[in-house]
Amino acid sequence: MVKCFPQELDQLFSALGEPVRRSVVRSLATGEKSLSALAEPFSMTMPAVMKHVAVLERSGLVRSEKRGRTRYCSLEPARLKEAQDWIAETVAFWTPKLESLARHLEASE
């Protein structure tokens, strides 16, 4: 299921472990946005927003492209799926224990 390297999962999960960056991801889910449009909801300087976007780009969650003097950012949802897959796999590891517990309870009735 998970196709990317552990190091990429590090970048992915820690990118999501920050409220500003999760907001940015949510904001981009509705379409591409410029850096200043992303910065607007937060009372934060441009360099700070740029650093968050850089973290998101390194994680593969976001890509950006400069057109004229504006840099447009957009979401790369394939990466979000990697995180989702890792969690799904972990839950799958865990679930058999629950099922065997259920069988055990049934058997002891």
Partner DNA sequence: GATATAGTTTACCAAATGGTAAAGTGTTTC
Partner DNA sequence: GAAACACTTTACCATTTGGTAAACTATATC
Contact set with a second copy (CB under 8 A): 6-7, 9-19, 22, 25-26, 29-31, 75, 77, 80-81, 83-84, 86-88, 90-91, 93-94, 97
- Looking at 4, 9, 20, 80, which residue binds DNA (CB under 7 A)? 20
Q: Is 66 in the site for DNA (CB under 7 A)?
A: yes
Contact (Cβ atoms closer than 8 angstroms) between residue 62 and residue 38: no
| Spatial separation of the C-alpha atoms in residues 7 and 17, rounded to whole Å | 15
Q: Which residues of 65-76 are buried (b: 16+ CB within 10 A; e: fewer)?
A: eeeeeebbbebe
Q: Which residues form the interface with DNA (CB under 7 A)?
A: 14, 17-18, 20, 34-37, 39, 43-48, 50-52, 55, 66, 68-71
